[in-house]
Structure 1
Amino acid sequence: MATGTEPRTDTGVRGATRAAIAARHLRTDRWWLAPAATAGGLLAFIVYSTWRAFANSDYYAAPYVSPFYSPCLAENCVPMKGGPNWEVFGSWWSLSPALLILVFPLGFRLTCYYYRKAYYRGFWASPPACAVAEPHTKYTGETRFPLILQNIHRYFFYAALPVAVILTYDTALAFRDEDYAWGHMGLGTLVFLVNIVLIWAYTLSCHSCRHIIGGRLRHFSRHPVRYRMWGLVGKLNERHMLLAWASLISVAVADFYVYLLASGAFADPRFF
């Protein structure tokens, strides 16, 4: 018969050294909605981007090239007149050329401080929400493999910058018509403009970018230019979560728009 003095055998947040709270949590709101919505949104993007990355088709509709496939680095790329189509990899690469470039923006987002919080909570319930007990029996943080690789986020930031520059070039080329003459503006041009603005806003709002600009400065007064840049990036950083989601949606929309044009679903509406 239990006497109530037996040692507790559970571990983690319900271990013997923690406060003995019988309830799983003390929240009365629908706290599970946020992590569930986060997991659903990220899962939807993962499924869509995986399909498009391996499709190896319908990624170019003059003058638009999908951001998932730019720059195109394989010999099996669809010819893109005037676009960033560099045959760095020879004919031995037979898979989708998107797999050669997506690793850089994917690594940048995967190691992003906000996205870490999002998928830790959404997929691993670590923790599921504020003031809700973590179900795991132990916690090692990002000190062991593979999570210790999260510390290379700043290097993925360096890799994401040239990708953003190339996508800016693609946006400039979107002002050409199907005969590659300048002066065109269609619905796709606006889609690409919105996308590149959000891509740059998200990239520059990165915590690593903020540290690179203003970190390790003892006296801001001696570096007025860097201080102003640090302030501007800091304002973007306040909206890092919003920009992370907005740019994730915009890059998927831009790719899907090119897919619709390339597959013949409709023609690009022109403004002039």
Structure 2
Amino acid sequence: MASTGVDAPGRAKIDVRTLRTDRWWIQPLVTFLALTAFVVYSAWRVFSGQYYVFEPYVSLYYSPCLVTTCDPGAIPAGPISWWTLSPALLIAWIPLTFRFTCYYYRKAYFRSFWMSPPACAVAEPHGKYTGERRLPLILNNMHRYTFYLALLLNIMLTIDAVAAFRKPEGGWGYIGLGTIILCVNAAALWMYTLSCHSCRNAVGGRITHFSKHPVRYKMWTFVSRINAHHMKWAWISLCTVVLADFYVYLLASGILSTDLHISF
């Protein structure tokens, strides 16, 4: 008999894994399929190293492009000249690490991939729990630092969204379907990032008296309100990331011959 977990001494002796009669397995299954699809898609796009620019659009996996061999239209280009692999590998690790260490996503993949536990009132198959005190899970403590990197990346993606209003021939006044998608994606990413638990701690943590910090208190109350919807923004932003990149890919690869747009 195991000395830890659900079979530990003093725990109720139940022969079945759970007494739940509902379809509790649907949510972890859907989460598993959705996150797996996202990882596969992201790996394909990040390692491909092509079809990421269609002026005035730049794929968010490749922005900012830090190598001198960036496709024309990527902003900014350079200054790294020695890099020979996909330019996305220099950037994409930031949002991917930020999401992988996110408190919500940790709960999501702990339940759906590792079944720890798969659902409320459902026994997990593991005999013991070691927490996040050793490799590789101790790296989840990087979340508070990747949060600040994600903020910088959001600024760049917002610049890309604004730049999507540029006319290819010069000047401003271009509004295409891609312009709308990039703007929606930038907004969703800001909501996801600002609703992060690390953001809530950054603006309101380590304060003894909120009355002495009225500005930070207002920021904390705002972040606290949107923090309640962090899971929703996690999934919305995940979908907009894929949609934005895939639309740029369709245009850059020639699968779509033109971007639906108006110019004034």
Letter in 1 for 2:158: T
Letter in 2 for 1:155: Y
Separation (CA, whole Å) in 2 of partners of 1:180 and 1:39: 45
Q: Does 1:168 align with 2:158?
A: yes
Q: Does 1:47 align with 2:40?
A: yes
Whether contact under 8 Å (1:58, 1:258) holds in the other structure is yes
Separation (CA, whole Å) in 2 of partners of 1:54 and 1:159: 21
Letter in 2 for 1:66: S
Q: How far apart are residue 85 of structure 1 and its match?
A: 2.4
Letter in 2 for 1:153: H
Picking from 179, 189, 196, the partner of 1:199 is: 189
Q: Please give the secondary structure, in 2, of the residue aligned with 1:161.
A: helix
Q: Please give the secondary structure, in 2, of the residue aligned with 1:58.
A: coil
Separation (CA, whole Å) in 1 of partners of 2:115 and 2:2: 22
Output aligned runs, 1:193-232, within 5 Å: 193-232=183-222
Q: Does 1:32 align with 2:32?
A: no
Letter in 2 for 1:271: I
Corresponding residue of 2:70? 77
Q: How far apart are residue 74 of structure 1 and its match?
A: 1.4
Moved over 6 A (4+): none
Q: How far apart are residue 11 of structure 1 and its match?
A: 5.1
Q: Please give the secondary structure, in 2, of the residue aligned with 1:84.
A: coil
Separation (CA, whole Å) in 1 of partners of 2:198 and 2:5: 32
Whether contact under 8 Å (1:128, 1:134) holds in the other structure is yes
Q: Which runs of 5+ in 2 are unaligned?
A: none
Corresponding residue of 1:109? 99
Q: Please give the secondary structure, in 1, of the residue aligned with 2:174.
A: coil
Separation (CA, whole Å) in 2 of partners of 1:213 and 1:18: 41
Picking from 2, 7, 23, the partner of 1:14 is: 7
Separation (CA, whole Å) in 2 of partners of 1:271 and 1:232: 36
Picking from 71, 77, 86, the partner of 2:77 is: 86
Letter in 2 for 1:214: G
Whether contact under 8 Å (1:79, 1:85) holds in the other structure is no
Q: Please give the secondary structure, in 2, of the residue aligned with 1:256.
A: helix
Q: How far apart are residue 86 of structure 1 and its match?
A: 3.2
Corresponding residue of 1:120? 110
Separation (CA, whole Å) in 1 of partners of 2:198 and 2:13: 40
Separation (CA, whole Å) in 1 of partners of 2:2 and 2:65: 56
1:9-62: CA deviations, max 9, x gaps?
575312344221122111110000000000110001011111111111110000
Q: How far apart are residue 84 of structure 1 and its match?
A: 2.4
- Percentage of matched positions with identical amino acids: 57
Whether contact under 8 Å (1:84, 1:166) holds in the other structure is no
Separation (CA, whole Å) in 1 of partners of 2:20 and 2:198: 34
Letter in 2 for 1:173: A
Normalised by the size of structure 1, how large is the TM-score? 0.93
1:46-92: CA deviations, max 9, x gaps?
11111111111110000000001000011221122xx52231321x2
Separation (CA, whole Å) in 2 of partners of 1:268 and 1:31: 43
Q: Which runs of 5+ in 1 are unaligned?
A: 1-7
Q: Please identify the structure whose Cα radius of gyration is greater.
A: 1
Whether contact under 8 Å (1:187, 1:271) holds in the other structure is no
Whether contact under 8 Å (2:2, 2:127) holds in the other structure is no
Give the RMSD, CA atoms, in angstroms.
Answer: 1.3
